[in-house]
Amino acid sequence: MPRPAIALLTVVACSGLIAQENGSQTRVDSGGQGSLRSRAAAKQGDNRNFAYIGSNELHVFPSLLDGGGWQSSIILTNLEDRPIQVVCEYVAPDGATRQMSFDIGTGDKSTSDINAFGTETFQTTGQTADTTSSWAYCTASQRNDRFGGYTLLRYNRDGVVREYTLPLSPDSETRFLVPLQRPVDSRTDVVLINTDLDINATFQLTVLDGKGNTKGVTQKTLRPGEQQVVTVNDSFATLDFTSGAVLVERLSGSQFVTGAAVRQGPDSVHGLPSMTPVQ
């Protein structure tokens, strides 16, 4: 996945709702129906002309944190040689629509018009005392238009600064491995998301040591649209090995599931995303 450079933005004073750079712009508003909600409608027969999103395409920002010292930046890059439009819908951990406060406005949906090979960047305000979590589902208005992106999650409070970078995840990643390195001395969080708004999905997480021996198993059921964060160190008692992995598998329910993982070392201020798909 390409890692575009973060672009500098000028916030336009027009109602505080548009960020611009070199003609590109992003608008934040509420209401309407993006691809995530439209997919649910299509499955119920309400939109027979809707084209289903391909399972191997990248559409999900698995984690956005805001408040309590956290801010999240969204970076979107146009991979086409012509302008495109990208719409992102924001979802709370329980699957409900999430109102997001960005530096360019407040709403549950953002629309970015991005120039050829251009980059759009906008960030949450981080002004609330408590931390709120959410995830986002992004699609191009023209289905075949290519775009890339990642989120930069930054914590800054009381002299402690941490940054985590998470790229876009596939719409459907039903089986993947998360490497574990010195798990006793580090923390690994696995983010699970059911992007289906209609049915549950059940995951199984299996901890394996370096020889592939099973050290622990747990299952998690996610309701429609739900996001869960599983801290491996808290969920498994036996982590007495130097290196190993967590095998994450969808057992039943929706195929529209995905995930990501972040490792935080004992002395590191940067979290590293770690996830390898298993076919």
d(CA 23, CA 9): 11
- CATH domain 175-277 topology: Hypothetical Protein Tm1070; Chain: A (2.60.290)
pTM for this entry: 0.80
Query: Lowest mean pLDDT: which of 55-69, 81-95, 124-138?
Result: 55-69
Helix (H, G, I), strand (E, B) or coil at 233: helix
d(CA 185, CA 71): 26
Amino acid at 165: T
pLDDT, tens digit, for every residue of 174-192? 999 998 888 888 888 999 9
pLDDT, tens digit, for every residue of 99-155? 999 998 999 999 999 999 999 999 999 999 999 999 999 988 887 889 999 999 999
Q: How many C-alpha atoms does 247 have within 13 Å on its Cβ side? A: 14
Domain ranges of the chain: 10-170, 175-277
